Structure 1
Amino acid sequence: MLKILFAGTPETAVPSLRKLAQDKEHFEVVAVLTRPDAPTGRGRKLQPSAVKRAALELGLPVIESNPREETFVTELAATGAQIGVVVAYGNILRQNVLDALPMGWVNLHFSLLPEWRGAAPVQRAIWAGDSVTGTTVFQLTRGMDEGPILAQSTEEIGAHETSGELLSRLADDGSMLLAAALEALAEGRLSPVEQPQGTFNIARKITTEDAAVRFDAPVFAVDRQIRACTPNPGAWAMLHNTSGEGDDTEDKSAVLHILKAAPADTEDTHVPSDLKPGELAVSKHHIWVGTMTSALELLEVKAQGKKAMVAADWARGAHLSETAHLG
């Protein structure tokens, strides 16, 4: 039976933790390493990570120590773990930590390495318009996602799939790949394969600033950006809504979060065909925004300080002026 130290933090890592913990024939999860409780929500109350909640539910010991602390390697050895398993942990492990366990460390990464090494592989794959992605189990080294590959599995990216939806699917599928790879590794049935050398796409983290939607791009590119940024960090645009006339004109600018959108059906005669980038058009049941090419239909939005709403319902109550636009 393979003794595992599991390291992970967000909900994405929970399917893998549950899969390994429940397979008592092949694995024993001796401890779970996760990030310390962090302030969350409006009240900024300390909340445990999703992995910590799952670990406590499963009755597993939890470690929240910083891997950079001098005593961490000793703490690691005391667990009796043979191998470390990382799924979206969020901390970089130093070489002395990587060397501390007899069988080293393996990582589940949500791309087909060597493509999309880095923090946001799922988001970047959608934004780039990739049609296929997948999961990779590889041995951790000091280089960013550069270690030898143990196993891979491919997945098609849905035409309307958001990064949150795709990541959830990959987390479930990846948990099965991870378990199979660990079982084969323990039995000596896997030979690690070095990743090819070359220049590959890097999946840098998407910031809130990156998520500001640019409507002066083709509709397919705008759609990809919104899907890539949903749910995190969340696509948004400034709504410019003027009121009054002459010297009394007031620009009521505010952030509008775009939760769901889709390229409009260009064959539908009700869809406006001459909207400028960012220009809005509203009907009883629809709201469209112009792009560099054709219109994008807004389906679900969230105004600043408000709840999420069907976009057409929001538009009816937003008192939009004739010159209201996003940008």
Structure 2
Amino acid sequence: MNPAVFIEAIQAELQRTKYGQYPPELYDPIRYIMSLGGKRMRPLLTLMATYLFTDDWKQAIRPALGVEVFHNFTLMHDDIMDQAPLRRGQPTVHERWNANIAILSGDVMLVNAYELLLDVAPDKLKAVMSRFNRTAAEVCEGQQMDMNFETRWDVTEAEYIDMIRLKTSVLLGYALELGGLIAGADAETNRHLYEGGVNIGIGFQLKDDLLDVYGDPAKFGKQVGGDILANKKTFLLIEALEKATGPLNDELNGWLTKTEFDKAEKVQAVTAIYDQLGIRQITEQRINAYFARGFANFDQLKADPTRRLLLTQFARQLVERES
């Protein structure tokens, strides 16, 4: 099976999906954010996981799209909280309309996500919705932790990993588990799907932190060093704050407390501190460890080896990404 078949099915269903018409201010923002594209990796993972155990993978298309709609709902609300002007290179919903419209449209998106997820066999419905409800709550918990970290300088590595697990990774885990639930896989298999997705997701986010500092600007697709300029509590900064001592600690804290600075100079100086502390190597080790755990989970799946290879190859593309 070519992954392009899954992608085409997702795109076709996106085109067919109706969110509502009136009032247009409520529904136009939903169509807008869903039209901005994105990797669509969550619904793709759901379809791949379903295909592991059944030829009837098309039964998972609408529930898979429900995961994607929920993901975009969280982005719409996150953009308001972050006061972000752009999403995928285009104005965010609250910038194009206003914050109140973005909040209300996001609320309707959540309802739409539930409607799509309800399109499963009755005997699977309770498990699908129960696991989704838990996941949705965890995503909100992770977002709140991320906001809490903005005013803290004592965030530990363990706290940070838990935050990205909740905010980002559990939804990847659920996307895979959803495919297993729809296909009727056993509990142990669904656990490996979920944990594999969570581990890959943590590695994915840590790599995003790394690329923000060490990525190739031409490939990364956004400003390298943006996290440094914003003093964002990334894995790299948390490790540096834990490990820096003496003059290096003073220099790092000096850059973190400056309100006026040359942007290029700050990025270069903080990156140099990371280099001296070996932060890049530490981060790469953590990334590789989480990816290895994820692939170990996938190796435990009781599925046709050829179909399992399709999933692991796609996961490796995420691992090896440079953007």
TM-score of the superposed pair, with normalisation by structure 2 = 0.29
Q: Which has the higher strand share?
A: 1
TM-score of the superposed pair, with normalisation by structure 1 = 0.29
Q: Which has the higher helix share?
A: 2
Q: Return the structure number with greater relative CO, CA threshold 8 A, min gap 6.
A: 2
